[in-house]
Amino acid sequence: FFFASQSRMDKSTTLYAVSLIGIAHAIPASFIPAKFLELNKIATNTETVMLTQALGSVTAGLSSMAYIAAKSASDELKMAALCSLCSSCLLAGYTAVHYWYTTGKKEAMAHAGATTGVLALCTAALLRK
């Protein structure tokens, strides 16, 4: 967690980084969901494509919230965005670990790792004064 400990990773910088990470996830999930599912070794059908697009939409919403908060002068908005992102990461991480535990798919652990990384960045930014 080297990056989170550096002084340049203030709330705004963290929120910018998280917004970029989120958009990098949201674009393929929203616009090429079948390929996204294939890369994650998940069966592709009408339902999984629709759910993947919905996940991409939610991720895009969280990413835009992070970007808007990063641009804001309001520390309260930054704190609220970071807290929301932490909540989202906790639930997504739990879901990924549960999926890995029940299926044994390694892709779920990669998702859990990425989610944990974002959670660590957001938590570190919240703890900064």
Q: Which residues of 63-91 are buried (b: 16+ CB within 10 A; e: fewer)?
A: bebbbebbeeeeeebbeebbeebbebbee
Q: Report pLDDT digits (tens) over 18-37.
A: 999 999 999 999 999 999 99
Per-residue pLDDT of the chain (129 residues; tens, 9 = 90+): 445 455 567 999 999 999 999 999 999 999 999 999 998 888 999 999 999 999 999 999 999 999 999 999 999 999 999 999 999 999 999 999 999 999 888 888 888 999 999 999 999 999 987
